[in-house]
Amino acid sequence: MAENQPLVLEKFSRIAGSLANPSVAAFKGQGGKVVGYFCAFIPEELFIAAGLLPFRMRGTGSENTERADEYFTSWNCSFPRHCFNQALLGKFDFLDGLVVGSGCDAMRYIYDNWKQSPLKTPFLHLLNSPHVSGKAMAGYYKDELARLKSALEGRFGGKVTDQKLWDAITLCNETRALQQSIYDLRKSPTPPISGSEMVAVMVAGASLPKEEYNADLKALLAELKQRPAAGKYPARLMLVGSCGDDASMCGIVEELGAVVVTDHTCFGGRMKYKGVAQTGGDPLEAIANYQIIERPFCAKMGGAHALRAGAIIAAARDFKVDGIIGQRLGCCDAWGGEFFMLRDELKDAGIPLLVIEKEYISDSEGQLATRVQAFIETVRR
């Protein structure tokens, strides 16, 4: 779908393809502060309410983990190693702060290693997240969010009021609704946007001011509705797994003539799931309930498998997919267990599954393409 590429998609592709971008530079040029964060369960709303620009951490552009391997063992997932290597190379020097979540041990080690490394990020905070879903754990997470709120106020000044939080929730809910509108266009037999292009849309949104991003999404929706149909595909596929900021798997699928029409990944479908409830009197409680109870959490959350599986099967049927490709990063036990449980459930639902283990930055695309091609042949229409 490179031909007739909408102008907004060109912008998103540039931003998703690098770490620094002009919008971040402009925000800092006006005196703004940028705070990086890992994992989808760390709410952007808190940063926005504090007047900060949230920047979702990723390892884009990384070539190796040579520097990071001095801090991480080889049996750590390659995503945090590539991200940390980029940090050691100075690629995140524009950050004024960093918030690390305790979603899994590999991510938790980033906080410890960042503290012990030569990196001099002015603000560093560990946000503990529960590993079990439920009302009690949402209450625990609300307390953790209150602790982060106080830390942001103490470091960057200004009061994060309830009204500012509700305004930030409204803004982020608008983002999710606009993203969902673009996803809905992919339900068409001839989707106007490819899987790899959708990755760029979602990744770019995690490193842009929300007002600017929402305006771009509205423009993109208008452009896509005028975009010529690309034709039908022999297979409609769904991606499931962690991360999702790398479009290489979508690229492999597209090279083979098929198309990825939806996903359940950290940078993709899980980011735009519905919205935070704008009822009640406590915005932190609303955010905590959304993150821990209502939204299908990633595989690191115990007790939420049924919610995840239900969301994946519902999306597969809604987007009329012929099969699911599961991406598991090497050494990720959480997703290894998740796919073990999902396999039988998807089989009962009549949805074929191919599970692929790969590295965050992969050099074996030829081997992956062979497996994907065989899978497409078995599920093609």
Strands (E) located in the chain = 34-37, 53-56, 97-101, 124-127, 236-241, 259-264, 323-329, 353-358
> What residues are paired with 356 via a beta bridge?
327
> What share of the chain in percent tops pLDDT 70?
98
Q: Report d(CA 116, CA 114) in Å as an integer.
A: 6
| 290: DSSP letter | I
Q: Over the stretch 147-166, which tens digit does the pLDDT of each residue have?
A: 999 999 999 998 999 999 99
Domain definitions of the chain by residue range: 20-160
Mean pLDDT of the chain: 92
> What share of the chain in percent tops pLDDT 90?
72
Is the domain 20-160 a CATH 3.40.50.11890 member?
Answer: yes
Q: Over the stretch 103-144, which tens digit does the pLDDT of each residue have?
A: 788 888 899 999 999 999 999 999 998 888 889 999 999 999
Q: Report d(CA 94, CA 90) in Å as an integer.
A: 9
Give the lowest-confidence range in 3-12, 28-37, 82-91, 285-294. 3-12
pTM recorded for the entire structure:
0.94
Q: Over the stretch 320-329, which tens digit does the pLDDT of each residue have?
A: 999 999 998 8
Q: Which residue has the higher pLDDT, 102 or 52?
A: 52
Strands (E) located in 137-214 = none
The residue-averaged pLDDT of 162-187 equals 97
Residue 200 has pLDDT above 60, yes or no: yes
Q: Report d(CA 90, CA 100) in Å as an integer.
A: 18
The residue-averaged pLDDT of 27-53 equals 96
> What residues are paired with 353 via a beta bridge?
324
Instruction: State residue 107's pLDDT score.
Output: 85
Instruction: State residue 124's pLDDT score.
Output: 97
pLDDT bracket for residue 303 (50, 70, 90): confident
Angle CA 32–203–380, to nearest 5: 170
- Dihedral of CA 289/290/294/295: which sign? negative
For every residue of 347-366, DSSP letters joined together read HHTT--EEEEEE-SS-S-HH
Sequence-separated (6 or more) residues with CB below 8 Å from residue 90: none
